[in-house]
A and B are shown apart, each in its own frame.
Chain A
Amino acid sequence: MTRVIIKRIGVFVCHCGSNIKATVDTAAVVDAIQSDASVVHAAEYPYFCAEGGQQSIINAVHAHALDAVVVCACSPRMHEATFRKAATRAGLNPYFVEIANIREQNSWVHKNKEAATQKAVQLARAAIAKVKRAVPLFPGESAVTKRALVIGGGIAGIQSALDIAEAGFEVVLVERTPSIGGKMAQLDKTFPTLDCAACILTPKMVEAATHEHIVLHTYTEVEKVAGYVGNFSVTLRKRARNVDMQKCTGCGDCYAACPVKRIPNEFECGLSNRAAIYVPFAQAVPNVPVIDRERCAYFRSGKCGRCAEVCQPGAVNFTQEDEILTIECGIIVVATGYQLLSPDMFGELSYHDSADVITSLELERFMNAAGPTGGKLLRPSDKQVPRRVTFVQCVGSRDTTRGKPYCSKICCMYTAKHAIAIKEKYPDSDVEIFYIDVRTPGKNFDEFYRRAVEAYGVRYIKGQIGKVVTTGDKLHLQAVDMLEGRRYNTTTDLLVLATAIEPARGAKTLAQMLNTATDTNGFFSEAHPKLRPVESATAGVFLSGACHGPKDIPETVAQASAAAAKAIGVLVKPKLVTNPCIAQVNETQCNGCTICNAVCPYLALSRDGERGCTTVNAALCQGCGGCAAACPSGAVDLLGFSHAQIHAEVDALCLQPTTHANAAPIKHTNNAHGGTTDD
């Protein structure tokens, strides 16, 4: 960076109507600062921010051949951008403008005119001192890889992937399990419209798999993330399916022939079994089986191979190995979703003790026509239709001791949905729901809940269950009815627990890889809770769906599209403009000790092993300056807030104005921190 010696400074003292002028003697300020030899022009004006005021600055730059401008006015948070643009119009580098805040931090907070005027002079001198040490700064540029990576193939990831792909960008969609579809694929119906989940989801799954711009990697996990917005490089581990994706026709002969059959099916919440070679569910995308190597007899003992024998296209391939892929992409969408909290820590509810105590997701599978009972609600213990079904809400939600402190948000609605669905299928059954508060904000949500009560006769009991005791075929519930104010002991046939939802397994590890934050509950943190709800704190990483917090399907889809829109906003840019106020390393001074690397929250600093010094990745650096403060030798500096500039400001503010006015300009040495010897 070439240093421009700033010798001709113009100072512009704004009245801001009477806002400044009433408390600060602006003429005196103009007088006082002219004692500085570098100030070749000083002027005052009622409103420098107005068009006329800006023009007067531009004229002065030309007339007096100014190389830098100091404006004594309102807060830089207000008009710094305005005056920098004006300077640019006058042909100056915008960073040759400094603002002395003599309104918010002077005239508005002080009453004594003399003191305020004196302080205004000091603030002006500090700004002059700072701008003298300014260097021209130019925003950097970095290229954008026109490809998106979406992590997680549930409804959130599918929606984000489709939206980005529709905008014409290539998308890599990564899913950890053998099929996309996520939690929504396990559901029976969706609230509040009761349309079938599979009917609206499966077309989207197929669309994602066949879209010309989407590359799908299932059974694949993210191993490593490097790079920064516009230029991420992500390492994926594509686990060996041991079935050739190209050759397989999805006929299903292999899993019919597999002798290892009694493996609990994860997709069915363990309510039914699968073989060692399997597709998780009938509508899986891709419809290509995987071999569960830990269970497969061939992999365990080397004997078997039945699946390979029956596979006519010869797709089964025992020698296939994990594949490591590297994806270059410009942005990353995180859509890792959620999982259910295990009810095991709530032993009093007897989930561990009785087969007839189930979670709500297990109930979804029982109610689903494609589920283990073909859509019949049969209690697990005796395969009979339960006459009474009891639900309990907030199992682990709003629980600061054994569960999660937050409201899981979707349970009230899906429980109402379950109640209605059971009443529709078995009108004679008796449905009872224990709740703490029924929370139904959402379009048509409360109407839906009221319908459960009014049209279906579902009994809502404000209260909780304290103990479940199983004797014979009955569950004895020790509960309380809060509205009656007394104990309510009853029996039921089936107890459904609305367990809390929590971030998916591995979310924390992924967050670390992405160098982005999670909240105290392990959900991904947004960059700003109001204004940047779908961006993470790391540039180029966007959040989609329940990885960010509990969400229902409509909200998930809305956020997925919002994340996609934000992502597209990055991908369409030909170049990314970077903040010029970033760290800079003086390589001759740096000895590569990496103390600065450790303080950088963005991993923007790294040691160049060959040169033995630290280098700054301009695209990652956000300009906090922590590294500049941490470096013991002063080898790291922050452009725009350099050591020299801050020290010059300190000097201007601390040295007594009287002596300062007469003193020679402060000498400045090349050593950024070097002490001056003028005092």
Chain B
Amino acid sequence: MEFLYYPGCTLSTTAKILDKQARSIAAALDLSFTEIENWQCCGATFPLNADEIAPKLAAVRALIQARNQNKPLVTLCAACHHVMKQVNHQAKNDADFRTAITSYDADLFYAGEATVLHFMEVLRDYVGFDALRDLLEYPLKGRKIGAYYGCMLLRPSDVMGFDDAENPQIFEEYIRALGAVPVSYPMRNECCGGYRAPEDALGCANLVERIAKSAAGRGAETLITACPLCLYQMVEHSGGAVDVCYFTEILAEALGVDDDDDDSND
């Protein structure tokens, strides 16, 4: 199965490890990932003003490539994923938006035809968790792992279509497939406060503490996340209450493709 891969700016800088792990996993699972040509930063946030067109064009250009090559567009970073799905949804459902992008640049004619997938959705829907279980070299027996979803993968749920926004299960099923014990805790879909990180360290610490406590209270030893900003926030503010890593790390480990090369996560 062939996919177009959109790494995004964070995965090219501070979260190279996420990129690397994903690529090794894809190779191990026989998924063909072609990096999208000349990609531009997605903008990290989806503008909620109807009149802001320019910040969405980078996403439109990536989506057009996916449509033209007739391959699903795969993302890893929660922010990129959020922006891609939001822009795709708007292009599909908002005729004014379509007119606006075409007026901006006549080459940009796009109506939401591409499919946007998160790497986790590829694992679930194209590989299958059951098939994944059979491929493991080193199942994570007995490990207690909690999923930290954060905001951007889940909400708004009608656009993201990722999972039930209030009681998501996809990461838990993934953890279970890897042989570990999923730890479900109520705060797993709450916000880490990332958007306020520059100006309000105290507020962020507060939010992260509530999440970490909730997870630790249910016995999670490790938290996995798909978002570099969530990971950064957890590392910054949780005071080491729980161990946090990318969701790809545990799979790389279980598959035995984790080559421990640490050019890395910091």
Q: A contacts B directly in the complex (CB < 8 Å)?
A: yes
The chain A residue with its CB closest to the CB of B168 is: A347
Give Cα A111 to B214, complex, Å.
81
Give Cα A353 to B172, complex, Å.
14
Give Cα A468 to B185, complex, Å.
11
Q: Does A47 contact B (CB under 8 A)?
A: no
How many A-B residue pairs have C-beta atoms within 8 angstroms? Tell me: 27
Contact A347 B165 (CB under 8 A): yes
Identify which of A352, A467, A470, A472 contacts B190 (C-beta below 8 A): A467
A179 to chain B, nearest CB (A): 34
Give Cα A45 to B166, complex, Å.
77
Contact B214 A471 (CB under 8 A): yes
Contact B184 A348 (CB under 8 A): no
Q: Does B205 contact A (CB under 8 A)?
A: no
The chain B residue with its CB closest to the CB of A354 is: B186
Which residues from chain A contact B166 at a C-beta distance below 8 Å? 345-348
Give Cα A584 to B183, complex, Å.
70
B90 to chain A, nearest CB (A): 19
In the complex, how many residues of chain A place their beta carbon closer than 8 angstroms to a beta carbon of chain B? 14
The chain B residue with its CB closest to the CB of A348 is: B166
Give Cα A353 to B187, complex, Å.
11
B237 to chain A, nearest CB (A): 18
The chain A residue with its CB closest to the CB of B217 is: A471
Contact B167 A347 (CB under 8 A): yes
Interface centre among B167, B187, B214 (most CB of A within 10 A): B167
Contact A353 B164 (CB under 8 A): no
Which residues from chain B contact A346 at a C-beta distance below 8 Å? 166
Q: Does A438 contact B (CB under 8 A)?
A: no
Contact A467 B167 (CB under 8 A): no
Contact B167 A469 (CB under 8 A): no
Contact with A along B111-151 (1 / 0, CB 8 A): 00000000000000000000000000000000000000000
Contact with A along B36-53 (1 / 0, CB 8 A): 000000000000000000
Contact with B along A309-349 (1 / 0, CB 8 A): 00000000000000000000000000000000000111110
Q: Does A350 contact B (CB under 8 A)?
A: yes
Which residues from chain B contact A470 at a C-beta distance below 8 Å? 186
Give Cα A347 to B217, complex, Å.
19
Interface centre among A346, A350, A468, A469 (most CB of B within 10 A): A469
Which residues from chain A contact B217 at a C-beta distance below 8 Å? 471-472
The chain B residue with its CB closest to the CB of A470 is: B186
The chain B residue with its CB closest to the CB of A469 is: B186
Contact B186 A468 (CB under 8 A): yes
Identify which of B164, B184, B186, B213 contacts A467 (C-beta below 8 A): B186
Which residues from chain A contact B189 at a C-beta distance below 8 Å? 347
Which residues from chain A contact B186 at a C-beta distance below 8 Å? 350, 353, 467-470
**24 CB < 8 A contacts A-B:** A344-B167, A345-B164, A345-B166, A346-B166, A347-B164, A347-B165, A347-B166, A347-B167, A348-B166, A350-B186, A352-B167, A353-B167, A353-B184, A353-B186, A467-B186, A467-B190, A468-B186, A469-B187, A469-B210, A469-B214, A470-B186, A471-B213, A471-B214, A472-B217
